[in-house]
Structure 1
Amino acid sequence: MTNHVIDDLQARGLIAHSTDLDALRAEMDAGPITYYVGFDPTAPSLHVGNLLQILTARRLQLAGHRPLLLVGGSTGLIGDPKQSGERVMNSKETVAEWVDRIQAQVSRFVEFGGDNGATVVNNLDWTQPMSVVDFLRDIGKHFPVNRMLARDVVASRLESGISYTEFSYILLQSMDYLELYRRHGAVLQTGGSDQWGNLTGGVELIRRADGGKVHALATPLITKADGTKFGKTESGTIWLDPDLMSPYAFYQSWIQAEDSKVGEYLKQFTFLSVEEVDALMAEHEQRPGARAAQRRLAAELTTLVHGESETQAAELASGALFGRGELRDLPESTLAAALREAGAVEVSPETTLVDALIASGLAESKSAARRAVADGGAYVNNERVDDPDQTFSGDQLLHGGWVVLRKGKRSVSGVRVV
């Protein structure tokens, strides 16, 4: 049984890099510390990669330490350099709007009361009043250009080109750490392993500028079984905002976790104890077809991000689409989200079952569609149908226009009759 938060983070596989774990442990043992994690508003919502950072911050808060959640009103105007090329800069008005949205998102995952209550900060507060000359004198002088050129992302962009703006991003993020060290006594910055250069840049700046000794800790890059980055689906990024990704689609993204990775995700993204996860994985290995681990993962994460009622609706929809529940009991918003995720299409009232099966992608041709009906493998709203030329009547239209189509046990789609 792990007790110290560092032991727990290690047991969950959440520490990829650290400056000096023994020194950090000793400082934590001496009393609660203040730490920070930053989020740049380069999109209107946080995504699943950011979620790992938020939950790591929450774990540290539960251990008694005090979080600072930084939303980058200034760094978001520039954006951290990407391997693929120069970022497109968003307008100041757009970034300001995204700052407000992301501040609201991160605030839902931490506690604000008590001795170790969280504080949300915006780095625009200290960069905006600063002159260029002061920035170059007070910050820039501490950064040797040869070390900046050696950063992986910079080195990879030298041939294709990198602007001075993106090249200088590390100075801004490092200055954030220095400011939070001075203003709030922050002695730990956490972030993803792809941020390690920026994290250690801040540690070094505090040493050079103030003679302070502080810490950095990076979580690993979360990957799929093939080594590619986790957080993308066929429909795009796994967003936390329900307007960008429905709670049902969010739930489904975790249900589809690979058997070889689901235990890792349970340890890193949920607050189940390591022992609970190990027991759940032992059960999963006995009956992998039941997908108990994936269902628990999806339920835990959807509840954390969207609330228990949305989790229940997603679970009902998952069952109902495959005949294990009553479709008419689903709210229209949940049914619509589920069918859009499954690949719903719009059809006219005159469309026949055969044509709907083709339009929805459940059949490749009219002959294949007719064969599925003749073989008893075609379902409308989970009821077997035998007339390939039927249209969809009033009592078949769920919430006035939706129809669930299924071919066999597992292939589901839907149509919206308009």
Structure 2
Amino acid sequence: MNKAIETLKERGFFNQCTDLDALSAKMDKGPVTFYVGCDPTGQSLHIGHMVPFFALKWLRSFGHIGVALIGGGTGRIGDPSGKTEMRKMLDYDQIDANVENIKKQLDKFIGFDGKTAFAVNNKDWLENLNYIDFLRDIGSCFSVNKMLTFEEYRLRLERGLSFLEFNYQLLQAYDFYMLHQKYGTCLQIGGADQWGNITAGVDLIRRKLGGTTELNELHQSFGLTFPLIMRADGKKMGKSEKGAIFLDPSLTSVYDFFQYWRNVPDADVRKFFLLFTFLPVAEIDQILAGDINEAKARLAFEVTKEIHGEEEAVKAREGAKAAFSGEGDKSSMPTVELSKADVEKGMGVLNLFSSAKLCSSNGEARRLVEQGGASVNGNKITDVKAVITLADCDADGELTLKAGKKKFCRVVLK
């Protein structure tokens, strides 16, 4: 088995492949060009989107050439795969803006050099397609009966599938066909829910370029999928109480990103080390042989470093230390500014917690205090009528608020 494929399997990036032996043999002969696709349905990717891009970096490390396709064209429709209802339609300007944001995020993570890794936008060949010509040339290669056997369509038929969405598979297959012609791309990788779309592309290349007999080697193409990643507690990967864990720090702060990994279930730690870091397996197992909480802290640091850079990862780690152990740099903690004058004359604890955004309302703050989850500078607050003044501040004239075991912030008085 080819070493790159062995590594993908070892680290959990393998679900199924259209022809594993043939793909392995092709990779043994030299570099292959492969692609990963994502649609710009929002201004930022979330961590669940990143599994294929971690795989891209692994394949690239073995000398293969990675293409990140950002769907500025297909994003105008929206992939029905894994969705129970039709996606919200975005205007074209918003889609174009999302494309640029996502391209920057991926460039930061992958490092596009134009040779071993680069980004493309399928808007370049989809935007001005002639509908009649497309139906004659591409649509004639697809069987509706076969399309309806795929999971993504079968499930949606129960709730309603628009004809607009039904076209999506043809467009994604066409992407593979175009990338194959433009760049020699012979492999598409993605999540298990993309199997139908990926194999449709493999079949289209065979029909258009491989003739009616056995596929010639020049136009061999393959699909490889990964398992859909779920947490051991049943939650969807990349989801928290606050929603999706985005790469954009304006949507998910670096500290919250760090804390997501710090608080994953124990049963997921090894799996996430393998998928979301580039540490050797032996080193991962050595880390896991020790304290599980220290292992989680290392996981949080490594993933944050990969996505946000080492400097931001260090800040997040120091902020966590300051909050939970009294060590570390307090300036790295999530920080809010409140009026010193308001605290000087006395601020009710409920108002304090809601003003610091640790609670969404005074009612939520009341429940927090009544349940024993509120503390100010390490002192538990049990009286809902408690008033916080400057006398409660620490030596730096600041307050550290905690809401439960995981939420906290530093309050600076101005």
Same topology, TM > 0.5:
yes
| C-alpha contact 1:193 1:221 (8 A) present in aligned 2 | yes
Change (3 A) 1:322 1:360: farther
Whether 2:286 is the aligned partner of 1:279: answer yes
Q: Pick closer, same or farther for the CA change 1:255–1:130 going to 2, 3 Å.
A: same
Read off the aligned partner of 2:390 and give its amino acid letter.
S
* Deviates most, 382-391 or 11-20: 382-391
Are the structure 2 counterparts of residues 155 and 357 from structure 1 closer, same or farther at C-alpha, using a change threshold of 3 Å? closer
Residue number in structure 2 paired with 1:351: 347
Give 1:257 deviation, angstroms: 1.1
Identify the residue that residue 97 of structure 1 maps to in structure 2: 97
Paired with 2:368 and 2:58, the residues of 1 have a C-alpha distance of 53
SS in 2 for 1:162: coil
State the alpha-carbon separation in 1 of the partners of residues 161 and 365 from structure 2.
47
Q: Which residue in the other structure is 1:145 paired with? A: 144
Indicate the residue corresponding to 2:231 in structure 1.
224
Instruction: Show the counterpart of 1:193.
Output: 192
State the alpha-carbon separation in 1 of the partners of residues 368 and 44 from structure 2.
41
Report if aligned partners of 1:39, 1:72 keep a CA contact under 8 Å in 2: yes
Deviation at 1:34, TM superposition (A): 0.6
- Aligned position for 1:251: 258
Q: 1:263 touches 1:293 (CA, 8 Å); kept in 2? A: no
- The answer to whether the Cα contact below 8 Å between 1:33 and 1:65 also exists between their aligned partners in 2 is yes
Partner of 1:172: 171
Q: Select between 153-162 and 313-322 the one with higher mean Cα deviation.
A: 153-162
Query: Is the partner of 2:289 in helix, strand or coil?
Result: helix
CA distance in 1, matches of 2:207, 2:133: 16
Shift of 1:134: 1.4
1:304 corresponds in structure 2 to 306
Give 3-state SS (helix, strand or coil) of 1:64's partner.
coil
SS of the residue 2:347 aligns to: coil
Q: In angstroms, what is the RMSD of aligned CA positions?
A: 3.3
Q: Corresponding residue for 2:277?
A: 270
> How far off its partner does 1:164 sit?
0.6
For residues 159 and 386 of structure 2, the distance between their equivalents in structure 1, rounded to whole angstroms, comes to: 58
Offset of residue 84 of structure 1: 1.2
Per the alignment, residue 399 of structure 2 pairs with: 403
8 Å contact kept, 1:356–1:415: no
Query: Does the residue aligned with 1:99 lie in a helix, a strand or coil?
Result: helix
Indicate yes or no: 2:337 matched with 1:330: no
| 295-304 or 388-397, which deviates more | 388-397
Match for residue 377 of structure 2? 381
Task: Using the TM superposition, give the Cα deviation of residue 102 of structure 1 relative to its aligned residue in structure 2, in angstroms.
Answer: 0.8
Relative distance call for 1:173 and 1:365 in structure 2 (3 A) is: closer
- Any conservation in 1 of the 2:32–2:186 contact (CA below 8 Å)? yes
Q: 1:65 aligns to what?
A: 64
Deviations 1:117-158 (A, max 9, x none): 212111111112320011101111100010111121212222
Paired-residue identity, %: 38
Comparing 169-178 and 357-366, the one that deviates more = 357-366
Structure 2 residue runs of 5 or longer lacking an equivalent are 211-218, 355-361
Equivalent residue for 1:107? 107
Cα distance, 1:193–1:390 mapped onto 2, change above 3 Å: same
What is the match of residue 391 of structure 1?
Answer: 388
User: Partner letter of residue 170 of structure 2?
Assistant: L
Count of aligned pairs: 393
Letter in 2 for 1:251: F
Tell me if the contact between 1:321 and 1:382 (Cα under 8 Å) persists in the aligned partners.
no
8 A contact 1:251–1:311 mirrored in 2: yes
Give the deviation of 1:384 after TM superposition. 8.1
Q: Give the Å deviation of 1:415.
A: 8.2
Aligned equivalents of 1:118 and 1:378: distance in 2? 49
| Preserved contact between residue 400 and residue 409 of structure 2 (Cα < 8 Å) | yes
Residue segments in structure 1 that go unaligned for 5+ positions in a row: none
Distance 1:41 1:185 in 2: 24
TM-superposed CA distance for 1:355, in Å, is 6.8
1:271-299: CA deviation from partner (whole Å, max 9, x where unpaired): 0111111222222xxx33xx122111110
Q: Matched residues in 2 for 1:398 and 1:196: separation?
A: 59
Q: Distance in 1 between matches of 2:410 and 2:273?
A: 35
3-state DSSP of counterpart to 1:109: helix
Paired AA for residue 322 in structure 2: A
CA distance in 1, matches of 2:124, 2:36: 17
Residue 398 of structure 1: how far off its partner (Å): 10
Tell me the TM-score normalized by structure 2: 0.85
Could you say what secondary structure the match of 2:388 adopts? coil
**Aligned-partner SS, 1:146:** helix
Indicate conservation of the 8 Å contact 1:45/1:102, yes or no: yes
> In the aligned structure 1, how far is the partner of 2:381 from the partner of 2:187?
62
2:244 maps to amino acid: T
**How far did 1:229 drift?**
2.2
| Distance in 2 separating the partners of 1:264 and 1:316 | 25
TM-score w.r.t. the length of structure 1 is 0.85
